[in-house]
A and B are shown apart, each in its own frame.
Chain A
Amino acid sequence: MDTQREIVDRLRLAFRSGITLSEQFRCAQLSKLMSMIKDNEKDILSALHKDLGKPKFEAILAEIDIVINEIHYAINNLPSWMQSDYVNKTLATKLDDCFVRKEPLGVVLIIGTWNYPLQLLLLPMVGAIAAGNCVIIKPSEVSAATDLLIAELIPKYLSQDCYAVVSGGAEETKALLQNRFDHIFYTGSQTVARSILQQASVHLTPVTLELGGKCPCLIYGRVNIAAAARRLAWAKFFNAGQSCVAPDYVLCSQATCDALLPALCETLKDFYGEEPQTSPDFCRIVSQRHWTHLTELLKKSSTKVVMGGQSDQEDKYIAPTVVVDVAKDDVLMEKEIFGPILPIISVESLEKAIDFVNDKEKPLALYVFSDETSVIKTVLQKTSSGGFCSNDGIVHMSLPGLPFGGVGASGWGSYHGRWGFETFSHRRACMLRGWALERLNGLRYPPYRDDKLSWLRWTAAPKTFCSIM
């Protein structure tokens, strides 16, 4: 078993050999990654079920299909992504070849997390492979079964010289970060992100941080409450609320709340039946530790439980729960909930709701439910968030054309589709000049004269009008 150092050195050597540079190599590795997922779908579903009690449907949609779609997208688009971008030129550079070359960074580290153990590790990995890097992936030890499976499968399918899995907990991750990487991609919490960024600063390593936060969901104006309740409930209770983009809490007027509650109740019955614990479609909490944290939160909270509230420690089950009478400083409003508990906060006006949102950190996602376009536009223009989705939840991250990432405390950088490729690439500005026009160059050489200056200004201006050439 190689030490971490040996793994990093091996990958660096492989990168220097230039093997990852060709399009064929990258496509071949991506195809193998796809085969890995398709061939082992059963085992993957089983591991996810073991870790999170993940229903088959959720696992297929949010772990298997999303990665396969991403790989397809990358393979289809890789030739155009890899092509150099030719740029607009000034008069002085008209005869030159000016373009931006996309180059891999080198050896990159991707640290995954436990709520979508496959997606959040392999989706960035697709971008890293497509960009021509060597990659070390570090799955989360909290989703232990998936961690073990990934560590077993990756070396069987992908090139062992270029891609490696390093498993372990906090200590092992800390040790891994002592090595020098060319990019670190981290998904997880703000606390750990701070320490990763600090370690990255020692080597001036660029980072991408996919963090979280409390994603608000505003419901204002005229709204089809039944449809809103369905989409809200789906987004909230998918993966038992353990999604970084799950609507964390709802802001609406009291009247809307009164209409929303029965609609939510009806929806939850439709989704999971009378006893969600017996439904095969409802997930479990990932660990005892997290289960305890959530149930403690609920106990400490001074809110009123209007739906759910039941829990079962052995099963790591917490029922889909809705609470009202939430004070601004309630314990449930301090940090990201990351569980199947939905606080509904009454704020009478849209303006006050927007102030409420803006008083907090910029979230990873922001949701608005309304049939009134003006409401949606107002919220969009007066707030900021990583992503924004109106009249639905989570689905904005399924579009490969949209960058997925946070802003402020919810993260730095983005990925998905071309954005993943760009994240793991260096855009190298290239200007290839000839030997001709040395007289034109003479404008810039000493000894200086005033008349030279005006000519120089003219040739160096960005062309904002039609030029003769």
Chain B
Amino acid sequence: MEWEVIQRAKEAFVSGRSRPLDFRLQQLQALQRMITEREAEITTALKQDINRSQYDTSLLELIGIENEINLALDKLAEWASPRPVEKTLLTVSDEAYIRPEPLGLVLIIGAWNYPWAVTLIPLVGAIAAGNAAVVKPSEISGCSSLLLETLLPRYLDKDLYPVVTGGVAETQELLKHRFDHIFYTGSSVVGKVVMEAASRHLTPVTLELGGKSPCYIDKNCHIRVACRRITWGKFINCGQTCIAPDYILCEPCVQGRVVESIRQTLMEFYGPDPKSSPDYGRMVNQKHFNRVVALMEGYAPVLGGQCDASERYIAPTVLKDVPPHSRLMQEEIFGPVLPIVTVSGLEEAINFVNEREKPLALYIFSNDKKVIKKMIEETTSGGVTVNDVMMHYTLSSLPFGGVGQSGMGSYHGKHTFEQLSHHRACLLRSLAMESVNLSRYPPQDRQRASRARMALKSPLIDLSKKTYVWAVTATVIAVGLLVTLVVILLIAAGLNCTCWYWRGFYN
């Protein structure tokens, strides 16, 4: 079954119909219509999958997808154009450029936490780059998966962009086939399996994984505002966000204020009983509910801690003075539980982060620019937001992706287009001017050799700073001399004129 779907998609790509820009734009417009016209159904599906509120659906998924489509519609012609490059002496009269080309058939494997965003945003890039794409949404967000399977063929080309649903077994079957690129969003564990499967066909991959994203709160910062922003990022989608602040690092003197600020914010956001707030989500399924509850075992929370298995509800929970080597600090929490680990200061916080795997996101809250600079320079992560959380995800001009265990490759905006394109190096020469080429042919002698070496030197012009400064200085001096010369000539001519005038006058 899958084999047929994949074959059809491959054949559709080979036919060439996904390549013309008009076709790509038309497909993107159709996708845009799908999101707009079917918003209500998408919202219902997400409510059933993960108890996502209508507001959150727009905020967290649909706005992002719409923006991506709009950007692609606006910029596609520019993105897809050949990009000229600098030339050497040998190639000075040639055309040298990079030509973005589609890869072929892309496999997009989505995740359940933002089922629409993490499948459709890569799909936007795949379509924009001229590829065919097999979309495999996560079976855990079952309603969204089924809805996507129904909707996509109604709006997009059925053969070029099929949806394949199913669980682990179906995904494993899918991975046996050969694709030209695999784009996976999910856990590091499965990421390794995907990469290993891809290795059999030498298929390049983009892996958007996760990890524990640290959040450092400096003692010198607006703690109230910081905690409001952190609370928003942590408990949105019930903590099930790959870039949610996983844990807080702060000094002991600040911990109390942090806890109190979070408590106040939770009251502002969800009221005294988050369970009855329409704006607070649920754990996606029993398995994840049990997993997160188990993580909390043995700790007395300072905030929250209540759960209800029948609703898969876990209250927004904060734990303080969490030991660095506890189970809570071993794996990504991916739930509404926020541990606070105390550190003696910035140095210890930096070491703490560096001792662990490179995270997908790093958050720093501080008024002190030096603190911010030091932390950024002495750590690494997929991305960083300072004095807020998650916002770097929202700017499509920033590449979104991980490093090390948190992922490879990046996307959003033009970056998705780049990721799913092949950048073909093109040099178009003419068979004329063969005499220039003679120096590189055997039989070789010293003269020929030095001419050949000269022809291959690059750059054609020296673009170093020193030369630039000299060029500017020389130009200024030359212009100055020219102006002086003109002035002198004018004066001389003027004097002459005056002489003649006076001569005329006196004559």
**Minimal beta-carbon separation of B185 from chain A (angstroms):** 14
Q: Which A residues touch B429, using CB under 8 A?
A: 389-392, 395
Could you tell me if A432 and B372 are in contact, using CB atoms closer than 8 angstroms?
yes
Q: Once the chains are docked, how many angstroms separate the CA of A385 from the CA of B200?
A: 20
Q: Once the chains are docked, how many angstroms separate the CA of A266 from the CA of B387?
A: 72
Could you tell me if B228 and A445 are in contact, using CB atoms closer than 8 angstroms?
yes
Could you tell me if B88 and A407 are in contact, using CB atoms closer than 8 angstroms?
no
Does A376 have its Cβ within 8 Å of any Cβ on chain B? yes
Contact with B along A234-255 (1 / 0, CB 8 A): 1000000000000000000000
Q: Once the chains are docked, how many angstroms separate the CA of A96 from the CA of B385?
A: 10
- Cβ contact of A395, chosen from B222, B225, B382, B427, cutoff 8 A: B427
Could you tell me if B395 and A55 are in contact, using CB atoms closer than 8 angstroms?
no
Does A270 have its Cβ within 8 Å of any Cβ on chain B? yes
Smallest Cβ-Cβ distance to B465: which chain A residue = A79
Give the contacts of A398-438 with B (CB-CB under 8 A): 398-404, 407-409, 412-414, 426-435, 438
Q: Which B residues touch A387, using CB under 8 A?
A: 424-427
Could you tell me if A206 and B408 are in contact, using CB atoms closer than 8 angstroms?
yes
- Cβ contact of B427, chosen from A271, A392, A434, cutoff 8 A: A392
The A-B contact count (CB < 8 A) is 310
Q: Once the chains are docked, how many angstroms separate the CA of A462 from the CA of B377?
A: 29
Decide yes or no: A204 and B91 within 8 Å by CB, A100-B398, A399-B96, A453-B59 being known contacts. Answer: no
Q: Once the chains are docked, how many angstroms separate the CA of A291 from the CA of B428?
A: 34
**Minimal beta-carbon separation of B411 from chain A (angstroms):** 11
- Cβ contact of B386, chosen from A369, A384, A430, A460, cutoff 8 A: A430
**Minimal beta-carbon separation of A429 from chain B (angstroms):** 4
Q: Which A residues touch B434, using CB under 8 A?
A: 224, 227, 230
Does B405 have its Cβ within 8 Å of any Cβ on chain A? yes
What is the total number of residues of chain A having a CB less than 8 Å from a CB of chain B?
112
Q: Which A residues touch B458, using CB under 8 A?
A: 69, 73, 398-401
- Cβ contact of A386, chosen from B59, B67, B407, B424, cutoff 8 A: B424
Could you tell me if A395 and B442 are in contact, using CB atoms closer than 8 angstroms?
no
- Cβ contact of B453, chosen from A65, A96, A200, A412, cutoff 8 A: A65
Additional 16 contacts, C-beta under 8 A, given A204-B405, A398-B458, A413-B204? A90-B394, A100-B399, A197-B198, A204-B207, A211-B202, A231-B431, A280-B444, A384-B101, A391-B431, A392-B427, A403-B425, A429-B398, A430-B376, A431-B385, A432-B386, A449-B55
Q: Ordered nearest first, which 4 A-B pairs have the shortest CB separation?
A: A401-B85, A448-B55, A281-B442, A197-B199
- Chain A to chain B contacts (Cβ below 8 Å), 28 pairs: A16-B354, A73-B459, A90-B394, A93-B395, A204-B407, A204-B408, A223-B431, A231-B437, A234-B440, A281-B444, A371-B431, A391-B429, A392-B429, A392-B437, A396-B426, A398-B91, A399-B87, A402-B427, A408-B104, A429-B383, A433-B385, A438-B228, A441-B229, A446-B269, A449-B55, A450-B55, A453-B58, A457-B66
* Chain A residues within 8 Å of B, Cβ to Cβ: 16, 18, 21, 55-57, 60-61, 65-66, 69, 73, 76-77, 79, 87-90, 92-93, 96, 98, 100-101, 103, 105, 182, 190, 193-194, 197-198, 200-202, 204, 206, 209, 211, 223-224, 227-228, 230-231, 234, 270-273, 279-282, 358, 369, 371, 376, 380, 384-392, 395-404, 407-409, 412-414, 426-435, 438, 441, 444-450, 452-453, 456-457, 460-462, 464
